[in-house]
Chain A
Amino acid sequence: MEVPILKQGEVLIATVQAALADADLLQFRRALLQQVVRCRSMGVIVDVTSMDVLDSFASRTLREIAQMIRLRGAEMVIVGIQPEVAFAMVQMGVTLEHVATALDLEEGLARLNQRFEHAS
């Protein structure tokens, strides 16, 4: 299952569907990096609103994606973590340390714009 990645100006928006197998996550990581390079994006928003579970593998993969994107000089924001998912994650000790998070797409874009303004 491929994750759709849309371009909006200097920002890429990737919307993750409900259940991603481990292989799909790795494929997503590859595809997203390629797009960041191709589009010279400054920011990436990963929307996980539809994910009803975020296990340790998904969390690690997302952290790695964030680090790789940062190496390209861009920033990643994860948006749409549901309350139940957040609760389950902290109970399992799965963290998204050093990865920016925001409530939803609107907030995520606002945060990226703030960064762009500071940078320019």
Chain B
Amino acid sequence: MTVAMVRLDSQDDIRFHRGIEPVEPISILLRELVAHLRENRTQLREEWAQRITEAKLLTAMTPEEIFAEATSVYDNYVEALETGTFEALQAYARNLSERIIPRGVETHEVVGIVLLLRDVLARSLFAKYQADFTKLNRILDAYEPAANRIANTVAVGFVQERERIIREQQEAIRELSTPVLQVRERLLILPIIGVIDPQRARQLTEQLLRGIRTNRAKVVVIDITGVAAMDATVANHLVQTVEASRLLGASVIVTGLSPEIAQTIVNIGVDLGKMNTVGDLQGGIEQAERLLGYKVVPMAEAS
């Protein structure tokens, strides 16, 4: 028996010698697919825009805006398919999110339109290759992983952008909610309203200390009329704030303590000699003025 020795150059050759048809590599299929998507760009984009309207997505945007964004998304989508790299798409997704989130576009809408585009393009591939089932399968082998990765990239990019915006807004709210106000030379008022958690308490202290240095304050009135309750941790923070202010040469008057908070402070055993408190804000300001050597008198009546 003789054995035929055949030199095999490639996988394609093996299959050929075994009598199986040669198979194109994925890269060639992708190129074919991308070419098809580019040729039919206008028609496919139109179909997609229609689907978006039918699904009642992106209602916050005008038709012109939807068209402009649809064009960008389509082109970026096809380019990601072509290059197989997703950095550009990620950057585009974040950029797009930054623009549409303030318009009130929601996550489900963004995910929705990307999936609709995926469907529209897939259908167009079914239509083109319907005669050749094997070829259609190969094309989908190339298309599906890439399309899924694209949908993923865009959705994740959108969500990350949303989270970033929320963090920024939280920070802004926190800063706004603890204003340090100068009402006289060397006199600062810190009106606190709402709930103080340890993080806000810390931020408050830092802002106050910086304010004391910047305004060269000698007296600070911290008004907590607007604070309903305080746990022992936060009460301790308040005491620390008073001590830290003293280290910067400023004395602190705390006003507006509710009965509950007064109870908490007594319970944690604060040396009340260290805390100067007055019932209400008016009383606190009057005492502060006295400490600073001011006297407020009514102007003489014009006779």
Name A's B-contacting residues (CB within 8 A).
79, 81-83, 85-87, 89-91, 95-96, 101-104, 107-108
Contact = CB atoms under 8 A, between A and B. Distances in A.
Which 9 A-B pairs have CB atoms at the shortest separation, nearest pair first? A83-B209, A102-B249, A90-B240, A103-B249, A86-B244, A86-B247, A90-B244, A81-B247, A90-B243
Interface stretch (B39-47, B138-146, B210-218): B210-218
A103 B218 CA distance: 8
A82 B212 CA distance: 10
A87 B245 CA distance: 9
A86 B241 CA distance: 9
A89 B249 contact: no
B246 interface: yes
Contacts of A87: 205-206, 209, 244
B244 A89 contact: yes
Interface in B244-274: 244-250
Contacts of B245: 86
Interface in B108-132: none
Given A103-B213, A107-B216, A79 B249 contact: yes
Contact of B247 (A89, A107, A108): A89
A83 B243 contact: no
A61 B181 CA distance: 36
A83 B240 contact: no
A100 B241 CA distance: 17
B247 A101 contact: yes
A91 B240 CA distance: 7
B240 A96 contact: no
Contacts of A101: 246-249
Nearest to B241: A90
A91 B209 CA distance: 14
Contacts of A102: 249
Contacts of B246: 101
Contacts of A81: 247-248
B209 to A, nearest CB: 4
Nearest to A111: B249
B206 A86 contact: no
Interface string B222-258: 0000000000000000001101111111100000000
Nearest to A77: B249
Interface string B189-210: 0000000000000000110011
